[in-house]
Amino acid sequence: MGGRCETAPSIELPRRAGYGDRVIGRPLNDRELRSYRHVPDDVARRVRVVAIPALPGRYVGLTLGSIVFLAEEVSDDGDSTLLAHELVHVRQWHEQGRARFAVAYLRAFGAGLIRHRSWQEAYRAIPAEVEARQEAGRWLRSHQGRPAADDGEAG
């Protein structure tokens, strides 16, 4: 979440055989699964990435359960810091349960609004966001200079 949305990418809601008609988005590909090691493999494998033209406010990414909505094009080469950030939220949802995560997130946001009197500061102060920024930052530092292609791909 966060950042500025300036582009309006095309809608991508493919149906995937074997998952049922109600499943939207695409799963992470093998390269992404190898790259985004900062979240557990079983969590990464349940992720679906959905590109949509716009998200509320200035969001460029929004995670609901295992579905990551992105309002900007991101690479599927396993080098997207935005996707790395949203995957932390998928793990948080998965670990805490949807209801607990949503309640804790909104409660922290509400408390932050009272304390900071700023939407942006309140959003940045949410513990789930602090953690996602830290983990995505660590992922980026460990990922830089180590292309996904060199990370165990055979052939």
CB of 88 to Zn ion, least distance (A): 7
Least Cα distance to 133 among 120, 141, 142, 124 occurs for: 124
Asked if 87 touches Zn ion (CB under 5 A), the answer is no
Q: Which residue, 14 or 127, has its beta carbon nearer to Zn ion?
A: 127
CB of 152 to Zn ion, least distance (A): 28
Q: How many residues bind Zn ion (CB under 5 A)?
A: 3
Asked if 1 touches Zn ion (CB under 5 A), the answer is yes
Buried b (16+ CB within 10 A) or exposed e, 61-100: bbbebbbbbbbbebeeebbbebbbbbbbbbbbbbeeeeee
Footprint of Zn ion on residues 103-142 (CB under 5 A)? 129, 132
Q: How far apart (Å, rounded) are the C-alpha atoms in residues 63 and 86?
A: 6
68, two tokens: 């990551």
Q: Which residue is nearest to Zn ion (CB)?
A: 1
Which residues would be at the binding site for Zn ion (CB under 5 A)?
1, 129, 132
